[in-house]
Structure 1
Amino acid sequence: MPPDCKAKRTRPLSPNIQIYRPQLTSVLSIANRITGVVLSAGAVGLVIWLVAAAAGPQPYAAVQGAIGSWVGKVVLFGCTFAFFLHLCGGIRHLVWDTVHGYELRSIYISGWAVVIASVVLTVAAWVASFFVAG
């Protein structure tokens, strides 16, 4: 095109981008992938803790001090929640593998059940840990 014929063109925006609202199913799908990554990092942390325990009292005390700090407890709480969210999501997928629960109402009920069960199990695990430790 000759330079004098070029009209200013604006790229049209998709209306879907402007009106899209994340759905529970898509949020849980993304959360399942994120929790898998968090659990992998948590597994590395577990190995570090075990190696420190095998290395002797001083390395173990250092790692235990980091875990016992408020930041360490927040990370442990996050890892616990990630574990239960990933576990409950996996159970939901196992049910789907039996070709059950594909109705829209069932999908949302099971999705909210995963979220609620993850929260309840996380809190229960932490409450139980205080009774065992204290």
Structure 2
Amino acid sequence: MSESAHQVKFIPGRNAPMSPHLQVWKFTVTMAASITHRATGIANAIGMLLLTAWIASAAISEDAFDAVMGFLGSTLGLILLVGFTWSIMFHLVNGLRYLAMDSGKAISKEAGNLTATLAFVASVILTGLIFWAGFTFGGAN
């Protein structure tokens, strides 16, 4: 490691060091899972607006429902639906991972890396299965 990596940087005008996280921490799969978990929580809240628009359009009129369904059936709509579904699946699987860790299981570094990787893989597989089932069993025309 270079000598400059060990130097402490200070906030201008204060006698307090800056957080060294950008210089010290190595990006890991567990860090990615934690950041992604937070981001998918936000994405899920925003995605609920899409779900609410779909439900509300059904209550408003047939024309409104057809318009929303037309959008959801478009390329952009399908991309949003796949992203929203993946977001829900990742948040679910990683939440279960956190629940297991809170109970004292899978808290070693190796188990954390494995379960974080599995959360990413499982969320993609579950999303694929949901869309496969939807298109196979009549979810889309």
**TM (normalized to structure 1)?**
0.84
| Structure-2 residue corresponding to 1:21 | 26
| Structure-2 residue corresponding to 1:58 | 63
Paired residue for 1:46, among 39, 51, 62? 51
| Structure-2 residue corresponding to 1:68 | 73
Deviation at 1:20, TM superposition (A): 4.6
What's the Cα RMSD here? 1.9
Deviation at 1:18, TM superposition (A): 5.1
Q: Unaligned regions of 5+ residues in structure 1, if any?
A: 1-10
Deviations 1:55-79 (A, max 9, x none): 1110011111111100000000000
What pairs up with 1:34-113 in 2 under 5 angstroms?
34-113=39-118
| Structure-2 residue corresponding to 1:4 | none
Higher relative helix content = 1
Deviation at 1:42, TM superposition (A): 1.1
**TM (normalized to structure 2)?**
0.80
Count residues in correspondence: 124
Runs of at least 4 residues of structure 1 off by over 2 A? 11-21
| Structure-2 residue corresponding to 1:30 | 35
- The answer to which of 45-54 and 20-29 deviates more is 20-29
| Structure-2 residue corresponding to 1:5 | none
SS at match of 1:102: coil
Higher RCO, Cα 8 Å, sep 6+: 1
Give the percent of matched residue pairs that are identical in Structure 1 and Structure 2: 28
Q: Unaligned regions of 5+ residues in structure 2, if any?
A: 1-7, 11-17
Deviations 1:71-125 (A, max 9, x none): 0000000001001100000000110111111111111111111111111101111
